[in-house]
Chain A
Amino acid sequence: MTALPKNILPLTNIRRERVLPILGHVVARRLQKVTPTNVIVEANLKPEFILLDVAEGLNVSPRRADELLQRQEGDELAQGDVIAGPVGLFQRVIRAPFPGVIRIAGEGKILFEKASQAYELQAGLEGTVTSIIPERGAVIETRGVLIQGVWGNQKVTYGVMNPLSQLLDREVQQDQIDISHRGSIVAGGFCTDPEVLESAQAAPIKGLILGSMSSSLIPTARKMAYPIVVIDGFGKRPMNRAAAKLLTTNQERNVSLNAQRYDPYQGNYPEITITLPVSEGVGFPPEAEDFTAGQDVYVTSGPAAGQTGSIQRVLGEKYTFPSGIKAWGAEVSLKSGNTLVIPLANMRVLNQ
C-alpha cells in the first residue's frame, strides 16, 4: 500500500515553487537570497471594473462615442482624467472615476479597471531563488530543517525559535507567554484557550507553533496577526516527539514559519524550515513508498495519534480493531513503549 510521508527532517534539501494562481508581476530575481517575508510575485487577485457607457454619457451614438475617445486600451489614468469628449453645447466629457487602466474600449463603451493594492505572495522560506516562472512566481531552494504541519492561519514570518519547554507536551497557559517572548517564534504543546492566542498577540510574539489545537480555536486563530502552525492536528495532544526535539534543539536559531493553508489538492502544507549552513550532498525527501518492516512511522489518527514509532511487521491479512472495523494494519512499536496494531490508513512514513 502506498504510504505518504510526514516530513520531520533535521537536514534535507527543500525546494518550493511559490506561484500565484493567475498571471502577475514577478519581482524576485534568479539567485536572489530571500527571507520568508520577501515578496516574490504580485498580482491583483480581486480586480474591480466599471463599465462606462460613453455613448450614453455623451448622448451620442456608439460610433460617434468611439470617435470622441481620447484614450485607448492600456492607458493608465488618474482620477478625473478625460476619457472622451468634449462634445455638444456644454462640452460634455467623460472622466476617469478613479485611478486605473482602460482595459477594453469600443462600441461606445469603456471597461475601466480600478487601480488597487496588489496581492503580494511572499517567499515563505529563507533560501535562494533558483529559477523564475515567468508571470507566475519562482522556485526557492534551501537546505536545513523541515517540519511539515497540518494547519496554518495563512501568514508568514521569520524569527528566533523560543520553545516553552523541552518536551512541548503540555497545554500552553496564558501566563507562560510574556515579555520575554516578544518578537520570537514560540513553540508549545497544545492549546485549548482562546485567551492564550490573544495574550500572545498582545506580547507580541512573532509566530506560534503548536502540536495540536482545539478546532474551536480556528476562528480566533485565523484572526491573529501572527502566523500559527499546527503540526499534529486537532485536539489536546502533545507535540510529536520528533518535531519537539527538532524545535528545541534549534532554539535561538532563525526559523521560517509559513502558515499557508493545507491544500489536499495541491499538496501544500504549512511548514517550518530552518536554513542550515551545509554544502552539497543533501537529498530530497521521498514522496511516497510502500509500508515495510523497520520503517519509522507517524500515527495520524486514533488513540495513538501524533505518536511516532517503527513498524515491526506488516500484517498479512486484515485485522479486526476494537471498533469492529477490519482493515490492513501493521504492528508498530511506539516510542512511548507500547506496541500496537495500527491501520495502515492511519499512518504516514516518517521521514526524519
Chain B
Amino acid sequence: MATEVQSLLAIDIGATNTKVNLFDIVGGRYRFISYGEAPSTAGAPLFDIGEGIWEAIAALERKSHRKIISEEGALIAPSTPENTGVDLVVATMSAGKPLKVLAVGLQQDVSLQAAEQLAATTYARVVDTISLNDRRSESERINLIAQTRPEVILMAGGTNDGASRSLLNLIEVVGLASYLQDESHKPHVLYIGNEELHSEVKSSLSRITDLHLAPNILPLVGSKTLYPAQKEYFSIFKEVRKKQSSGISQLLSWTNGQFASSATAISRVVRFLSKKYEPDKGVLGVDLGSQSTVFSAAFDGEEALRVFPYLGMGTGSPTVLERSSLGKITRWLPTAIPESRVEDYLHQKYLYPASVPTEPGELALEHALARQVLRIAVKEGLKFLPDGARQTQPDLLPLVEPIIGSGKVLTEAPSRAHSTLILLDGLQPTGVTTLALDQNGLLPALGAVSPHSPLLAVQVIESSTFLNLGTVIAPVGYARPGTPILRMQIQREDGRRSTREIKYGSLMVLPTHQGEKVTLHLRPLHGFDVGMGGPGRSGRVSAVGGALGVIIDARGRPLQFSSDPERNQKRNQQWLKILQKFE
C-alpha cells in the first residue's frame, strides 16, 4: 500500500486552527506542495470538526489550483490523471478538552509515576492519583473517583510475577466507584499492571467499565515499556473525542479509521530522527500550541513524550501564572510593561486564543510568554528523560541534535531572529546543536504519514521542510562576565581560516551563508563544557550555516537575570538586535 501512494492529504485539527497539507511526487520525489488553513470548529458553536476541515480544504484548493472535493461534496480518492484528488488521507488532532485521567498505582514512585508518565503522552489532565502510599481509606478512594468523575482510569502496578493482592484491592475500589457512575459517565479503565491478573481484572471490571487491557508498563523490575500501552491509551482518546465532536466519523471514513493525536505524531518524527542522526545525541521537538505544549525528546529511539495541557499561547496562557510567577514572564520583556497589563493580556488571550498581537508591546508580551512556557516544559520534561540522554548538568537540556521548534508563535514571528531567540531563551540548549523551525507546521502530518508511507516522510524531511535557523554553540560552566571561555578556529569551505575568542556572557553570530559548511575547532577554557565528552574537552565540529549563520551563545546556563528589570530589558533588546543584524 505504502508504495502506491502518490499524493497525500494530511489534516491536523488544532485547538485554534485546522490545517490541511498536500504532498505529492514532484521530479520523482515526494514534496510538500501546499496547505490550507481555517479556524477549528471542534468546539462551540459548531461542535463539528467537519466545518473547519471543509474550509481549510477550500483554502488549499484555491491556493494549489487542485480539486480535492468533487462537485457532489465527496473526497476525490484516489487521485486522477487530471491532477485532482488524493490517494491517501491522514489526520491528527489536538483540539478538545484534555481528557480527565485518574492515575492508580501501587507504589507512588514506581508504578504510579509510570502511569502518570503514560497519562502525559496525550492531551490529558491527571485530576488525581491513588496509590498504596496515599494513606486514604477505601471509602475515601471511592469518594475521590465518584467526585472527580475521570473519563479514563489508568491502573498500573506489579511486575508480571509480582504483587497481586494489593492490586486486587485497588481494582475492587475502582470497580465499586465505577459502578456508582451513571451510564454516560462510566470511565474507560486502561489496565497496565501485572498481566497475570488479566482474568481477575476482566471479571471484576468488564461489565461495569469500558475496560481496556494493555501489556504491563513495568513487566520486570527496572524495565519500563510505555509504547504498547500508549497505543491503547490513544484509542481511548479517539473514542472520547468521537463522542465530543461530530465530523470525526466522516474523517475516519476518509482515513480508513486511522488518526493520531498530534503529540503522538510529533513524537514519531522525533523518534525516527533520533535513529537517523548522531547516535550519541538525542533529538528534541517542541510544539507551542494554543492550549497545550508538546515536549518530545528521543535518544536512539527511546523517547520521552510529555504533553502539557492548559499550558500554551492561547487558552493555556493564564495557567502559566499558576506554574510560575508573573516576574518569570516579565523578565523576558525588552521594554517595561506594567505587571497589571501583562496579567490582563494573558486573561484576555484565554478568551480570544486566536487573536494576533498587532502592537510591538503585545508581541513582546507573547514572546515573553512563549519563553516561559518553554522553560516550564523543559523543567518538567527533564524529569522523564530516558537513560540514554547525556546532560552536561542535571538541570539543563541534554545534548540534542537537532532541536525542532513548531507552533505559530515561532513560525509567524516577524523575523527569524525572533523565533531563534525564543528557542534559545526558552530551551537554553547546551553544547553544539542545530535549531530548526517547522516552518510549514508539518511535524504532526509527517508523523501521521510515516506508518503509511515512510518514504514520503523521509523525503519531505530531507527536502528543506525544516528551516535551519542556525548551528548553536552553547558552552556550559561558570565564569565572571567578560572572561574568555572558548577559543574557536573557523575553517571555511574556500580555505579561509580565522580565530575567535568567546567571552562569558556574550551572544554572537558567525555570519555564514545558508547551507554553507564550516569546520569549527572548539577549545573550551576554564573547564567549560561544549559537549565534547566533558568539561574542558576540545573537539572539531562540522557546522552548516542556517538562516542566522552560526550562533555562539555564551550567556551561561541557566541564564541569569538581574534584580534590576531595566537591565534585563536592555539585555533582551541587545540580544535581539545582535541576531537581527545577521538575518
Contact = CB atoms under 8 A, between A and B. Distances in A.
A216 B345 CA distance: 11
A49 B343 CA distance: 41
Given A265-B96, A288-B45, A326-B412, A300 B359 contact: no
Interface string B168-202: 00000000100110101100000000000000000
Nearest to B179: A104
B45 to A, nearest CB: 4
Interface stretch (B135-143, B493-501, B503-511, B525-533): B135-143
A303 B358 contact: yes
Interface string B338-350: 0011011111110
Nearest to B314: A264
B38 A2 contact: yes
Interface in A139-193: 150-151, 192
A234 B347 contact: yes
A51 B358 contact: no
Contact of B355 (A49, A50, A216, A346): A346
A98 interface: no
Given A288-B46, A346-B356, A323 B414 contact: yes
Interface string A184-224: 00000000100000000000000000000011101000000
B36 to A, nearest CB: 12
Given A47-B143, A215-B347, A303 B359 contact: yes
A341 to B, nearest CB: 9
A4 interface: yes
A46 B147 contact: yes
A22 interface: yes
Contacts of A1: 38-39, 55
Contacts of A321: 356-359
Interface string A307-336: 000000000000001111111000000000
Contacts of B362: 302, 323
Contacts of B414: 323-326
Contacts of B345: 234
Interface in B334-376: 340-341, 343-349, 351-360, 362-363
B161 to A, nearest CB: 28
A234 B348 contact: yes
Contact of A51 (B139, B149, B357): B139
Interface in A267-308: 267-268, 287-288, 300-303, 305
Nearest to B55: A2
Contact residue range for chain A? Answer: 35 or more
B43 interface: yes
A305 B344 CA distance: 12
A216 B143 contact: no
A23 interface: yes
Given A47-B143, A323-B414, A216 B340 contact: yes
A148 to B, nearest CB: 11
B97 interface: yes
B265 to A, nearest CB: 22
Nearest to B17: A345
Given A215-B344, A267-B45, A324-B363, A47 B355 contact: no
A233 B350 CA distance: 10
A252 interface: no
A321 B366 CA distance: 15
Contacts of A47: 143, 146-147, 180
A23 B521 CA distance: 70
Nearest to A53: B138
A174 B352 CA distance: 30
Nearest to B145: A49
B92 interface: no
Interface string A254-266: 0000000011111
Interface in A23-69: 23, 45-51
Chain A contact residues: helix, strand, loop or mixed: loop
Given A23-B182, A215-B347, A48 B143 contact: yes
B343 A264 contact: no
A49 B359 contact: no
Nearest to B351: A150
A2 B54 CA distance: 11
Interface string B389-424: 000000000000000000000001111001000000
Nearest to B350: A264
B347 A49 contact: no
Contacts of B137: 51
Contact of B356 (A21, A45, A305, A327): A327
B41 to A, nearest CB: 7
B315 interface: yes
A115 interface: no
Find the residue from B184, B346, B349, B354 having the highest chain A CB count within 10 A.
Answer: B354
Given A49-B142, A214-B340, A234-B348, A265 B43 contact: yes
A235 interface: yes
A303 B149 CA distance: 42
Nearest to B354: A345
Nearest to B291: A264
B44 interface: yes
Given A288-B46, A302-B362, A325 B357 contact: yes
B360 A323 contact: yes
Given A22-B149, A23-B182, A325-B363, A265 B358 contact: no
A288 B340 CA distance: 33
A345 B139 CA distance: 49
A322 B344 contact: no
Contact of A343 (B43, B44, B355): B355
B180 A103 contact: yes
A94 to B, nearest CB: 15
B51 interface: yes
Nearest to A265: B97
Nearest to A45: B147
Nearest to B415: A324
Nearest to B244: A265
B185 A22 contact: yes
A305 B348 contact: yes
Contacts of A266: 43-44
A246 interface: no
A325 B412 CA distance: 7
B351 A262 contact: yes
B355 A104 contact: no
A266 B180 CA distance: 25
24 contacts: A2-B39, A2-B55, A5-B45, A47-B147, A51-B138, A51-B176, A111-B176, A214-B344, A234-B344, A235-B341, A235-B344, A266-B44, A267-B44, A267-B47, A300-B355, A301-B352, A301-B356, A323-B358, A323-B414, A324-B363, A325-B357, A325-B412, A325-B414, A343-B355
Give the 3 A-B CB pairs with smallest separation, nearest first. A267-B44, A324-B414, A301-B355
Interface of A: 1-2, 4-5, 21-23, 45-51, 103-104, 111, 150-151, 192, 214-216, 218, 233-235, 262-268, 287-288, 300-303, 305, 321-327, 342-343, 345-346
Interface of B: 38-39, 41, 43-47, 51-52, 55, 96-97, 137-139, 142-143, 146-147, 149, 176, 179-180, 182, 184-185, 315, 340-341, 343-349, 351-360, 362-363, 412-415, 418
